[in-house]
Structure 1
């Protein structure tokens, strides 16, 4: 493995981690800077296509709407495997997300186990997400005890 490949893998992992950090902090406009302007973003809940957004403007509106309903996000990233081909790459990553929302005056926590299939491109020396498909594999809701 060459130094260039290792550098690209590290940059792609940093991209995925930045997505989690900025999303957890609800810095949606900064999250949009991680995507290409013509990006596509899909979310599957089981077999159901729950979201299908194209372009930064639509995605930012969608993300802001979702973030307004969530009190707290917490994300932990796990495995991240990439295949790099010049200025393009594909990747698979796994995350555990927690979202706290208020439902009928009480806090509820939802745990999500998510697999992401990504396509990346390097533009002007910076890796960006061109396409992201999130597969929400396990979803668990429960009252938050504290």
Structure 2
């Protein structure tokens, strides 16, 4: 493995970590900087297509609407495997996402176990997410003791 490939793998790992950090902090406008303007973003809840958004502007609106309903996000990124082909790459990563929402005056914690399939593109020396498909494989909710 060459030094250039190692450097690229680290840059792509940082890209998905920055995506998670900015999302957890609800810095949605800043989070959009990790995507290409023509981003395609899909979410599957088990086998159901729950979201299918194209374009960074549309995605920002979608994320802002979602973030308005969530009190707290907390994301842990796990494995990240990528295949690099010049200025393009594809990757699979796994995340554990926790969200706290309020329902009937109580905090409800939902745990999501997610597998992401990504396509990346390098433009002018910087990597971006061009396509992201999230497969929410395990979803578990419970009321927190307030």
Moved beyond 3 Å, runs of 4+: none
Q: For structure 1, list consecutive stretches of 5 or more residues without a partner in the other structure.
A: none
- Other-structure match for 1:9: 9
Q: State the distance in 2 between where 1:16 and 1:60 align.
A: 17
Deviation at 1:124, TM superposition (A): 1.0
- Other-structure match for 2:80: 80
Q: State the distance in 2 between where 1:5 and 1:122 align.
A: 13
- Other-structure match for 2:53: 53
- Other-structure match for 1:32: 32
- Other-structure match for 1:122: 122
Deviation at 1:144, TM superposition (A): 1.1
Deviation at 1:101, TM superposition (A): 0.2
Q: State the distance in 1 between where 2:145 and 2:44 align.
A: 28
Aligned pairs, how many? 146
- Other-structure match for 1:134: 134
RMSD between aligned residues: 0.5
Report the TM-score, using the length of structure 2 for normalisation. Answer: 0.99
Q: State the distance in 2 between where 1:97 and 1:132 align.
A: 16
Q: State the distance in 2 between where 1:21 and 1:28 align.
A: 10
- Secondary structure of 1:33's aligned partner: helix
